[in-house]
């Protein structure tokens, strides 16, 4: 296995579903999409990454739309 720098690895959240914050996953259809982390693009807009705890699909949603 090749060495991957720690800062480049992807760690998905543990499968502890919060029913109040979860959404339906666009890939598998289950109510397992959970908020994961925030990031900014070059224009300084804030996005939240949502990750499905079932199929590990993810999507980035603008924080204004995410709230």
Which of the four pLDDT bands, split at 50, 70 and 90, describes residue 24? very high
pTM above 0.75?
no
Report strand pairing: 46-52 vs 58-62.
Answer: antiparallel
CB contact set of 45 (below 8 Å; sequence gap of 6+):
62
- Dist CA 31 CA 20 (whole Å): 11
Q: How far is CA 40 from CA 2, 45, 48, in A?
A: 29, 5, 9
Lowest mean pLDDT among 18-22, 23-27, 43-47, 49-53: 18-22
């Amino acid at each position: 296995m090749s060495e991957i720098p720690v800062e480049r690895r992807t760690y998905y959240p543990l499968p502890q579903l919060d029913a109040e914050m979860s959404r339906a996953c666009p890939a598998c259809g289950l109510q397992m999409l959970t908020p994961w982390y925030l990031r900014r693009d070059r224009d300084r807009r804030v996005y939240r990454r949502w990750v499905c705890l079932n199929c590990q699909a993810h999507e980035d949603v603008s924080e204004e739309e995410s709230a």
